[in-house]
Amino acid sequence: MTTTHTEHKPTQVTGHTRTSGDVLFSIVNYSFFILLAVLCAYPFYYLIINSVSANDLSALGDVRLFPQGFHLSNFEQVFHLQGLPMAAAVSLARTVIGTTATVLASAFLGFMFTQERMWARRFWYRFVVITMYFSAGLIPLFIIMKNLGLTNNFWVYVLPFVVQPFFIVLVKTYVEGMPRELQEAAEVDGASVLRVFFMIYLPNMTPILATVAIFAAVTQWNSFQDTLIYVTDQSLYTLQYLLYMFINQANSLAQAAQNAGGNLGALADAASTQTPTSIRMTVSVLVVLPIIFIYPLFQRFFVKGIMLGAVKG
């Protein structure tokens, strides 16, 4: 799979004469997919055009097809909102640190579980993989996190994500497909297991690690539930959590809007004064933009990942 999309050549043998039924089907079929594509894409477009339109117009709901009174000052102004710069930093930090940790751990464990000499290897592999299929539940997990001192702690965003059985299975399958001789040759030369991993296997695993990285990064960036359950300290709120609060707290948001506007003093006019709508739209765009940009670039990795996962079951 080398192209950006699922490589499926039209499988049907073409060449038979097209009947009018065929033509009708094609028209209906194409229209159906155009409709679906619009249903999926328009909401994103709607958020974006509203975030760059005059704030008085967006508050009235008048921006529907094209931006009106185009301006980009919202993106600067939302950063005056209390807590937002911090939340953006937390979201970014957990995505970068969490993803790095997950990728390295998955690579290492996926590789190590192919080492047949390891003591009780099969047992430990099952010990890890079986955790995919059960969960103690939300409350016991909360109490344990609390006992471990991980509530209101940044590391609650990272540590539970380090060992992820699904990724380990993906990497292990991949490593099993790599030539064994790589390791044997290096060991003849006296290289240790760690050296073999870092110098030989890690650099040759990039395709599967890219898949893992994308999945992990999207999960980290989108994560909301862990903030909800484990965090009350406002300095650890994420963008997702802040957005959720902004949607639900219209009153406090209006207050926040005024405060943010106040920073600009006399410069503020109706088109650039923050409104609850403009704040929500702008924060939403901040939340979704990284996904939209990264997504088409890495779509092929997603596809590859889900296929490998499907093969393993």
Partner 1 sequence: MSSPTVVTEAVTTTIDHAADTKGRKRADKPRRKTSFKLFLLISPFLVLSFLFAYYPLYGWVYSLYDYKPALGLSGSEFVGLQWFRLLVSSPTQVDQILQVLTNTLAISFLGLATSILPLLFAVLLNEVKITRFRNAVQTLTTLPNFISWVLVYMIAFSLFSSTGLVNDILLDSGIITTPVKFLDTDQHVWLSMTLWSIWKGLGWGAIIYLAAISGIDPSLYESAKMDGAGRFQTMRYVTIPQLMPTYLVLLLLSVANLLNNGMEQYYVFQNAFNKEHIQVLDLYVYNIGMTGNSLSMATAIGMLKSLISVALLFSVNAFAKRVRGQSLV
Single out the residue of 27, 247, 267, 270 in contact with partner 1 (rule: CB under 8 A): 247
Q: What is the DSSP string of the chain?
A: --SSS------S---SPPPHHHHHHHHHHHHHHHHHHHHHHHHHHHHHHHHTS-HHHHHHT--SSS-SS---HHHHHGGGSTTHHHHHHHHHHHHHHHHHHHHHHHHHHHHHTT-TTSTTHHHHHHHHHGGGG----HHHHHHHHHHTT-TT-GGGGTHHHH--HHHHHHHHHHHHTS-THHHHHHHHTT--HHHIIIIIIGGGGHHHHHHHHHHHHHHHHH--HHHHHH---GGG--HHHHHHHHHH-HHHHHHHHHHHHHTTGGG--TTTS--HHHHHHHHHHHHHHHHHHHHHHHHHHHHHHHHHHHHH-
Give the residue with the Cβ less far from partner 1, 203 or 248. Answer: 248
| Span from 7-15, 81-89, 204-212, 265-273 in contact with partner 1 (CB under 8 A) | 7-15
Give the residue with the Cβ less far from partner 1, 239 or 260. Answer: 239
**Which 143-172 residues touch partner 1, going by CB under 8 A?**
143-144, 146, 148, 159-160, 162-163
16 binds partner 1 (CB under 8 A): yes
**Which 172-231 residues touch partner 1, going by CB under 8 A?**
180, 193-194, 218, 221-225, 228-229
| Span from 75-83, 243-251, 257-265, 266-274 in contact with partner 1 (CB under 8 A) | 243-251
Give the residue with the Cβ less far from partner 1, 141 or 264. Answer: 141
70 binds partner 1 (CB under 8 A): no
| Span from 71-79, 82-90, 136-144, 204-212 in contact with partner 1 (CB under 8 A) | 136-144
Give the residue with the Cβ less far from partner 1, 159 or 264. Answer: 159
Give the residue with the Cβ less far from partner 1, 4 or 234. Answer: 4
22 binds partner 1 (CB under 8 A): yes
Give the residue with the Cβ less far from partner 1, 148 or 267. Answer: 148
Nearest approach, Cβ of residue 267 and partner 1 (Å) = 27
269 binds partner 1 (CB under 8 A): no
Whose tokens are 């009235």? That residue is 60
Whose tokens are 């028209």? That residue is 27
Single out the residue of 280, 282, 300, 301 in contact with partner 1 (rule: CB under 8 A): 280
17 binds partner 1 (CB under 8 A): no
